[in-house]
Amino acid sequence: MPSAFNFNASPFDCLTPQEQRLVRESVDVVYFPEGVAILDVGIEPTHLFVIIKGYVTQMEGLEIVTTYGPDDCFDGRSLVAGKVSSRFVAAEEVVAYQLARQAVSDLIAANATFGALLFSDLSNKLSALSARKSQHELQSLTMSRVDEAFLRPAHYVDYNTDILEVVKLFQECRASNVLVRDTRQQPERLGIFTATTVQRAVLDGRPLNELPVGELSNFSLVEVKVSDQLGDAMTVMLRHRVHRVVVVNEAHDIVGILEALDMFSFLSNQSHLITEKIEEAKDLDALTRAAAQITRMIALLYRSGTRVNLIAQIVQQLNARLFENAWHLIAPPELVKNSCLFVLGSEGRGEQLLKTDQDNGLLLRDGYVPPDDLGTICMRFSQALASFGYPECPGHIMVSNPEWCKNTTDFTRMARQWMLMPDADGLMKFAIFMDAHVVCGDVHLLEQVQHELRGLTSNNDAMLGRFTAAIDAFGSAHGWWNRLLGLGDGKNQLNIKKEGIFPLVHGVRSLALGQRIYETGTIQRIEALVAAHAIAPAMGADLTESLQFFMGLKLKAGLAELDVNKPVTGAIDVDRMSSLDRDLLKDTLGVVKRFKLMLRQRFHLDAIG
Cα gap 383→390, rounded to integer Å: 9
Whether a cis peptide bond, with omega within 30° of 0, leads into 187 is yes
Q: Which helix (H) or strand (E) holds 473?
A: none
Mean pLDDT throughout 492-518?
89
Q: What percent of the chain shows pLDDT beyond 90?
A: 42
Asked if residue 442 and residue 320 are part of one domain, the reply reads: yes
pLDDT attached to residue 376: 96
303-326 pLDDT tens trace: 766 778 878 888 888 899 999 999
> C-alpha dihedral over 393, 395, 397, 401, to 10 degrees?
100
Tell me the three state secondary structure of residue 569: coil
**Residue 581 and residue 593 in contact, taking contact as beta carbons nearer than 8 Å:** no
Confidence of residue 488 (pLDDT cuts 50, 70, 90): very low
Distance CA 571, CA 490 (A): 14
Mean pLDDT of 327-337: 95
* CATH at 518: 1.20.120
Separation in Å, CA 226 to CA 79, 138, 246, 269: 57, 19, 10, 21
pLDDT of residue 609: 56
Segment 374-393 mean pLDDT = 93
Q: How confident is the model at residue 93 (pLDDT cuts 50, 70, 90)?
A: very high
Q: Give the tens place of pLDDT for each residue, 439-481.
A: 999 999 999 999 888 777 656 777 788 888 888 877 554 455 4
| Number of domain units in the chain | 4
Q: Which amino acid is at 445?
A: L
* 25 vs 332, more confident: 332
- The dihedrals phi and psi of 352, each to the nearest 5 degrees, come to -85, 140
Strands 37-39 and 87-90, sheet pairing: antiparallel
- Judge whether residue 550 has pLDDT over 80: yes
Say yes or no: 275 and 419 in one domain: yes
Asked if residue 135 has pLDDT above 70, the reply is: no
3-state class of 254 per DSSP? strand
Can you tell me the distance from the alpha carbon of 162 to that of 159, in angstroms, rounded to the nearest whole number? 8
Burial label for 543, CB within 10 Å (0-12, 13-18, 19+), is buried
388 with 255, same domain: the answer is no
Query: Binning pLDDT at 50, 70 and 90, where does residue 233 land?
Result: confident
- b/e string for 315-343 if b means 16 or more Cβ within 10 A? bbebbbbbbbbbbebbbeeebbebbbbbb
Q: Does the residue 135 lie in any domain?
A: no
Please report how the helices 308-330 and 537-563 are oriented relative to each other, as an axis angle in degrees rounded to 10.
60
Q: Are 353 and 206 found together in one domain?
A: no
pLDDT value at position 36? 93
Task: Indicate which CATH number applies to the domain containing 82.
Answer: 2.60.120.10
Q: Provide the pLDDT for residue 137.
A: 46
Residue 136 lies in a domain: no
Question: Which of 266, 295, 330 is the C-terminal boundary of a domain?
Answer: 266
- β-strand partners of 99: 27, 48
CB hemisphere CA count around 148 (13 angstroms): 15
Same domain assignment for residues 44 and 172: no
Confidence at residue 264, expressed as pLDDT on a 0 to 100 scale = 75
Answer whether residue 580 shows pLDDT above 50: yes
State the Cα–Cα distance between residues 170 and 406, nearest whole angstrom.
Answer: 42
Q: What pLDDT does 583 receive?
A: 79
- The CA-based angle 348-352-356, given to 5 degrees, is 100
| pLDDT at position 181 over 50 | yes
Give strand pairing partners of 223. Answer: 246
* Residue 586 belongs to a domain: yes
Share of the chain above pLDDT 70, in %: 90
pLDDT value of residue 535: 94
* The model's pTM: 0.68
Whether residue 433 lies inside any domain: the answer is: yes
- More confident: 475 or 194: 194
Please give the mean pLDDT across all residues of the chain.
85
pLDDT level of residue 586 (50, 70, 90 thresholds) = confident
AA letter at 149: A
Same domain (yes/no): 322, 187:
no
Contact 288, 387 (CB under 8 A): yes
Instruction: Tell me if 128 is assigned to some domain.
Output: no
Tens digit of each residue's pLDDT (9 = 90 or more) over 236-281: 887 788 889 999 998 999 999 999 888 876 766 567 778 878 888 8
Give the domain extent around 182: 145-266
Q: Is it the case that residue 139 has pLDDT exceeding 60? A: no
Distances (CA, A) of 472 to 103, 149, 467, 548: 44, 47, 11, 21
Q: Which pLDDT score, from 0 to 100, does residue 120 have?
A: 57
Asked whether residue 396 is domain-assigned, the answer is yes
Q: Are 192 and 179 in contact (CB under 8 A)?
A: yes
Residues 440 and 293 in one domain: yes
**Ramachandran area for residue 570 (φ above 0: left; ψ -120 to 50: alpha; else beta):** left
- Alpha-carbon distance of 295 to 271, in angstroms, equals 11
pLDDT of amino acid 129: 58
240 closest CA partner among 255, 225, 218, 256: 218
CB 246, CB 180: distance < 8 Å: no
In a domain, 540, yes or no: yes
pLDDT at 148: 78
Residue 1 lies in a domain: no
The pLDDT of residue 123:
58
Mean per-residue pLDDT for 271-295?
85
Q: Are residues 447 and 313 in the same domain?
A: yes
Q: What CATH code is carried by the domain that includes residue 154?
A: 3.10.580.10
CB atoms within 10 A of CB 139: 11
pLDDT confidence bin for 295, thresholds 50/70/90: confident
Chosen domain end from 266, 287, 319: 266
In contact, 546 and 592? CB cutoff 8 Å = yes
* CA dist 592 → 50, 530, 587 (Å): 26, 17, 9
Both 563 and 498 in a single domain?
yes
Q: What CATH number is given to the structural domain containing 330?
A: 3.30.460.10
d(CA 5, CA 97) in angstroms, rounded, equals: 8
| Residues sharing a CB contact under 8 Å with residue 314, sequence separation 6 or more, in sequence order | 269, 271, 297, 301
Say whether both 239 and 279 belong to one domain.
no
* Residue at a domain's end among 266, 299, 324: 266
CA–CA distance, 86 with 66 (Å, rounded to integer) = 11
pLDDT mean over 354-367: 92
Could you tell me if 410 and 302 lie in one domain?
A: yes
What torsion do the CA atoms of 8, 10, 12, 13 make, to the nearest 10 degrees? 50
Q: What is the mean pLDDT of residues 575-583?
A: 75
- In whole angstroms, how large is the CA radius of gyration of the chain? 30
Per DSSP bridges, beta strands 177-182 and 156-158 are parallel
pLDDT tens digits for range 12-49: 888 888 899 999 889 999 999 999 999 999 899 999 99
Q: Which of 285-299, 432-446, 559-573 has the highest mean pLDDT?
A: 432-446
My answer on whether 292 and 426 are in the same domain is yes
